[in-house]
Amino acid sequence: MAIRAWRVRNLGRIGKVVNILLQNGFEGVVETTGLRRFLPKDHRVSDKDSSSLNRWQRIRRVVEELGPTMVAFADYLACRPDILPEPLITELAKISSSTEPFGKAQAIAQFEQATGMKTKNIFTYFDSTPSFAEGFGRTFRAKLISGEDVAVKILVPEAVASVQTDITLIRDIVSLIENFLVNHGIPNPKQLVDLFEETIIPELDLRNEANMIGRFRKAYSGAGSFVVPKVYSLYTTVSTLVTDYYNSINVNNSAEFASWGVSPRDTADKFMKTFVSGLLETGVFHTSPRSTVVSVLPDGKVSFADYASTGMLTSDQRMLVCDAAAALVARNSRILSESLRKLSVGGEIDDYQSFRTEIQYLADNLYYMEETSTYMQEFSLGIMRIAYRHKLMLPREVVASFTSLAAAERVAVSIYSGFNIAGYLKPFSKKLFLERLSPDRLKSRLNQNLSQASDLLETSPLELSLILKKLRRGELIANHRITGLGFLIKKFDTAANKLVYAVMIAALIIGSSIIAVMGQETTYSLFGFPIAALVGYAVALILSLSLLFYTIRNRFGSRGNNPDGE
């Protein structure tokens, strides 16, 4: 009954997924997984031209056609180089979500329903089409009665229901193709869906975006080349957000803002300077700085059109990310590996020397890639591969900070093709290394160490007292597990066998000698010796040769397999 229920609930959507897969040349995925039960009998591949696209481009097109939830899920998976191959991650960086039409009438109706206010009492002008439309939000330009130009962001009415339906759909599809995913290197696909849900649900509440804009305004208050809008909290609800509007154009229109006299090179430099300094000095950053989100003002300043995808590092995480960035430029594997280890949550490195060697190789390899346009992408993917290979759990915010640097690099290169982030990071490296030795940093580290020592001294007597009480009451149970006894037991068994052979040989020799001396006249003899004695000597000789051969073979034959030569 449960299976039938989810089939009815998502039958239409799963059918759409199957059709999109078929149209983009993924018949094999449908026919070899549980999706084949939804395969139409008269199905045929669409005439859509897929022959000119490679596999990764066709996957990107499938994701784009499935809608904004799938696009967000692809963005989330693009942070996992242990799951997705690098060519697919690179292709997903170009992804753009298709948007449904959303006009002025719908926007006004949604605004009035959410705020309980009439737009005619608030705005003197409201644009007819969105100035920015991506994901689940649509932003319209408007003018308040008080005269301020504002941007009104409206959450698509069906956004929450659509996301919940799509997440359920993703779970259903994962259940259908779980074996396929596991066989292709994705061990816990259901857990990935749960983590993605925790990430995307907060983005469906525009009050969270308003709070993050407030953090940006405080964190970037000293950045003269970056503009953060003011939030009008009176008109901000779960599904509406009103901020300052800036007359700007998207960075993709480099020819247009160049006609303003704004240099693309200077714009790329301002954007990257603002982004890198903001991330490393404040810990507040945009987790998905796509080129569609970054805008340029007539005076050359930079702004973001959307703050839905934002992150914030703790002060300790920010310091360690700074250390990692500085160590990368300096090719210092010790600091880089230590920073990564301290950033991880709950994981111990079994082979630290191998871990550090891989870090050093990555840093050396990037040294020779400083002039390329994928420097930070290689770093972020490389550092995460090493972390996952050594089973280090990196916090979501730390992973987002690495991937956001790679995304910012792509934006800067799209503005000015000659931009080089490695050369830009070098001036920061000396400053960041000096920050490690700053009095405030040393004081913070000393306080942290003293606090940990104080906690240890405070809790140790309590823990010891608890152990002693359990010991007195007989509640303390020791569970011993001895490993590596197989080889020792085998050696004891071999020695026992040799001892038995030796005792048998000695008994035969002694018995045969007694027979030879005492039984010459009472038994049959051969060449003057009792036959029984000769048989005993013969058996003893055979056993002795067997024991000698076994000992020699065991000694020299197993020396190559046992480092101790046993």
Query: Facing residues of 474 across strands?
Result: none
283, 202: one domain: no
Q: Give a yes or no: residue 128 inside a domain.
A: yes
286, 365: one domain: yes
Query: DSSP string covering 6-26, please?
Result: HHHHHHHHHHHHHHHHHHTT-
357, 382: one domain: yes
Give the separation between CA 300 and CA 96, rounded to whole angstroms: 26
Cα 141 off chain centre by: 37
Output the domain CATH number for residue 162: 3.30.200.20
396, 357: one domain: yes
273, 409: one domain: yes
106, 92: one domain: no
Give the separation between CA 244 and CA 264, rounded to whole angstroms: 25
Which H or E element spans position 310? strand 310-312
**Exposed e or buried b per residue across 121-153, where buried means at least 16 C-beta atoms within 10 angstroms of its C-beta:** ebbeebbeebebbbbbbbbbbbbbeeeeebbbb
Collapsing DSSP to helix, strand or coil, 235 comes out as helix
Q: Give a yes or no: residue 564 inside a domain.
A: no
Backbone φ and ψ for 393, nearest 5 degrees, come out as -95, 105
Q: Give a yes or no: residue 562 inside a domain.
A: no
419, 500: one domain: no
Q: Give a yes or no: residue 485 inside a domain.
A: no
Q: Give a yes or no: residue 238 inside a domain.
A: yes
**pLDDT digit string (tens) for the chain, length 566 residues:** 334 444 455 666 677 777 777 777 777 777 666 666 666 666 555 545 556 778 888 888 888 888 888 888 888 777 777 677 778 887 877 777 666 678 889 999 999 999 999 999 999 999 998 888 887 889 999 999 999 999 999 988 888 888 888 888 788 777 777 776 667 666 677 777 888 888 888 888 999 999 999 999 999 988 888 999 999 999 999 999 999 999 888 888 878 887 888 888 888 888 888 888 888 888 999 988 888 889 999 888 999 988 988 889 988 888 888 888 888 888 888 888 888 888 887 667 778 888 889 999 988 888 888 777 788 888 888 888 888 888 788 888 888 888 888 888 888 888 888 887 877 777 666 666 566 566 665 566 666 666 666 666 667 777 777 777 777 777 666 666 666 566 677 777 777 878 887 888 888 888 878 777 776 555 566 666 677 777 777 888 888 888 787 777 776 655 444 444 44
Query: DSSP string covering 382-439, please?
Result: HHHHHHHHTT-B--HHHHHHHHHHHHHHHHHHHH-TT--HHHHHHHHHHHHHHHHTSH
* Rounded (to 5) percent helix, strand, coil in the chain: 60, 10, 30
Q: Give a yes or no: residue 486 inside a domain.
A: no
Burial classification of residue 191, based on how many CB atoms lie within 10 Å of its CB (0-12 exposed, 13-18 middle, 19 or more buried): exposed
Q: Give a yes or no: residue 418 inside a domain.
A: yes
Quick check: 75 and 92 in contact, CB under 8 A?
yes
Q: What percent of the chain has pLDDT over 70?
A: 78
Q: Where a domain ends, among 97, 127, 149?
A: 97
Backbone φ and ψ for 239, nearest 5 degrees, come out as -115, 10
427, 296: one domain: yes
Burial classification of residue 547, based on how many CB atoms lie within 10 Å of its CB (0-12 exposed, 13-18 middle, 19 or more buried): middle
87, 220: one domain: no
Q: Enumerate helices (H) and strands (E) in the chain, giving the number of each.
A: 21, 13
Q: Give a yes or no: residue 400 inside a domain.
A: yes
Q: Where a domain ends, among 245, 264, 291?
A: 245
417, 535: one domain: no
The total number of structural domains in the chain stands at 5
168, 233: one domain: yes
CB atoms within 10 A of CB 198: 9
Q: State the pTM of this model.
A: 0.68
Give the per-residue SS3 of 237-273: CCCEEEEECCCCEECCCHHHHHHCCCCHHHHHHHHHH
Give the separation between CA 325 and CA 336, rounded to whole angstroms: 8
Which H or E element spans position 44? none
Collapsing DSSP to helix, strand or coil, 485 comes out as coil
Give the separation between CA 188 and CA 178, rounded to whole angstroms: 9
17, 82: one domain: yes
Collapsing DSSP to helix, strand or coil, 185 comes out as coil
Domain of residue 473, residue span: 440-479
Cα 80 off chain centre by: 4
Q: Where a domain ends, among 245, 277, 304?
A: 245
Quick check: 376 and 370 in contact, CB under 8 A?
no
Give the separation between CA 494 and CA 488, rounded to whole angstroms: 10
Residue 421 to residues 276, 281, 300, 441, 453: CA-CA distances in angstroms?
10, 17, 20, 26, 41
pLDDT for 113: 92
